[in-house]
Amino acid sequence: MLHTPIYDPEKTFEENYHEGPFGEYADSEAYMNEGEPQTDFLGVKVYLPFGIPAGPLPTSNHVAAVFRKGYDIAVYKTVRSQAYECHPKPNIVPLQITGDLTLEKADRGVTASTKYTEPLAITNSFGVPSFSPDVWQPDLEAATQAAGHGQVVVGSFQGTNRGEGEDAFIKDHAIAAKLVKETGVPVMEMNASCPNEGSTNLLCFDTDRMEKILTAVKNEIGDTPLIVKLAYFKDQNHLADYVKRLGKLVDGFATINTISAEIRDASGKQALPGEGRLRSGICGAPIKWAGLEMVARLKKLREENNMKFAVIGVGGVTKPEDYFEYMNAGADAVMSATGAMWNPFLAQEIKSQVK
């Protein structure tokens, strides 16, 4: 059953920011945990290592809403060091996908749908918007304070490439990280898996640049735990080198974000309006295979390199069984964006099945 989503796809980003959350997430009914939190998530004890990744939670009101419904990890939507405009709506569109979205299927492109159906498959195209720090800093601080006992907020950030050269790009990551740390958030995540910021398609694939950026960021934030958000790596040697070089610089890897594909409507026209928006990231049930695979690969590489980073599984978690699949694959924590958007009770359903 699909409920009214916490983020309304029919509204603009600004409308969702100022008017949301929506549906049952907006009511005051709160889930009550029993006992004491037992699971460690990067230094914070949580009741269940399950939450919502960066994306559907643009304000402290959204964060507080998901905490009330039993989600114990909430990632505040990615912010930047300066204001950055959102793509025009629609930013979320339903898709017609049967079965897994393999890389071969993605290369052929995907067709948009007119309604949201199960199993859920969507594309999201925001461009990683951000208000200015004077707006998001106090709100992220409020979100952090909204966490109850056994709950934790993660502050997501990324740098902005303004064409001023590599040094400026690296510095901007450090500035954004410093601004996020100032809010008092206990855990941070660097978004390296969205387009338009890397020199090789996605920043997370650029190992050399990532090493420089992470070094600068860690120098700025000190001991605050840092997660890096990754996309799907096709080449195992690439991933192995990446983990060997960067695994000691971070406290966790979250994977995956989306799988990119061209999105067209039923007539073959570009589904999302505007220049540069033919390709977009796909989320939901069809990408679960990729998230599960990345979790297993990262777990194995962690063992081979005798490292300690956490592995956070993301992608296609729309029902309780998906959570347990990820945990069995080796995830230390699991997150759901698309599934959680349309099901305020997903965390509660999982908790009812945890022995």
Write down the pLDDT at residue 318: 98
- Checking if the pLDDT of 201 tops 90, the result is no
Write down the pLDDT at residue 14: 97
Whether the CB-CB separation of 243 and 307 falls below 8 Å is answered with yes
> d(Cα 171, Cα 216) in Å, to the nearest integer?
7
- Preceding amide of 256 cis, omega within 30: yes
- Checking if the pLDDT of 93 tops 90, the result is yes
Contacts of 46 (CB under 8 A, 6+ apart): 37, 39, 40, 72, 73, 150, 151, 152
> d(Cα 176, Cα 133) in Å, to the nearest integer?
9
Contacts of 165 (CB under 8 A, 6+ apart): none
Q: What is the mean pLDDT of residues 248-253?
A: 98
What 3-state class would DSSP assign to 307? Answer: coil
- Checking if the pLDDT of 199 tops 50, the result is no
Radius of gyration in angstroms for the set of CA atoms belonging to the chain, rounded to a whole number:
19
- Structure-token pair, residue 246: 């960067």
Rounded to 5 degrees, φ, ψ at 313 are: -90, 130
- Alpha-carbon distance values, 120 to 71, 99, 107, 343 (Å): 20, 11, 20, 11
The tens digit of pLDDT for each residue in 140-166 reads 999 999 999 999 999 999 999 998 999
Write down the pLDDT at residue 198: 39
13-353: what fold? TIM Barrel (3.20.20)
Write down the pLDDT at residue 331: 98
Rounded to 5 degrees, φ, ψ at 308 are: -125, 5
Q: Is 34 left (phi over 0), alpha (psi -120 to 50) or beta?
A: beta
What 3-state class would DSSP assign to 350? Answer: helix
Q: What is the mean pLDDT of residues 64-68?
A: 98
Torsion of CA 21, 335, 200, 156, to 10 degrees: 50
Q: What is the mean pLDDT of residues 114-132?
A: 96
> d(Cα 135, Cα 171) in Å, to the nearest integer?
21
- Structure-token pair, residue 86: 């959102």
Q: Which residues of 324-354 are buried (b: 16+ CB within 10 A; e: fewer)?
A: ebbbebbbbbbbbbbbbbbbbbbbeebbeee
Q: DSSP labels for 111-137?
A: EE-SS--SSPEEEE-----B--HHHHH
- Preceding amide of 21 cis, omega within 30: yes
- Alpha-carbon distance values, 298 to 101, 183, 312, 344 (Å): 21, 30, 10, 29
Task: Place 355 in a pLDDT band, splitting at 50, 70 and 90.
Answer: confident
Q: What is the mean pLDDT of residues 90-108?
A: 97
Write down the pLDDT at residue 195: 60
Entry pTM: 0.97
The tens digit of pLDDT for each residue in 207-240 reads 999 999 999 999 999 999 999 999 999 999 999 9
Q: What is the mean pLDDT of residues 317-324?
A: 98
User: Above pLDDT 70, what percent of the chain?
Assistant: 98
Task: Place 9 in a pLDDT band, splitting at 50, 70 and 90.
Answer: very high
**Residue recorded with tokens 């889930």:** 31
Task: Place 1 in a pLDDT band, splitting at 50, 70 and 90.
Answer: confident
Q: DSSP labels for 12-80?
A: -HHHHHHH---GGGGS-------S---EEETTEEESSSEEE-SSS--SHHHHHHHHHTT--EEEEEEE-
> d(Cα 350, Cα 323) in Å, to the nearest integer?
7
Q: 333-335 and 310-314: which strand pairing?
A: parallel
- DSSP for residue 205: G
Mean pLDDT score across all residues of the chain? 96
Bridge-partner residues for 270, per DSSP? Answer: 264
Residue 355, judged by CB atoms within 10 A of its CB (0-12, 13-18, 19+), counts as exposed
Torsion of CA 10, 280, 291, 22, to 10 degrees: -10
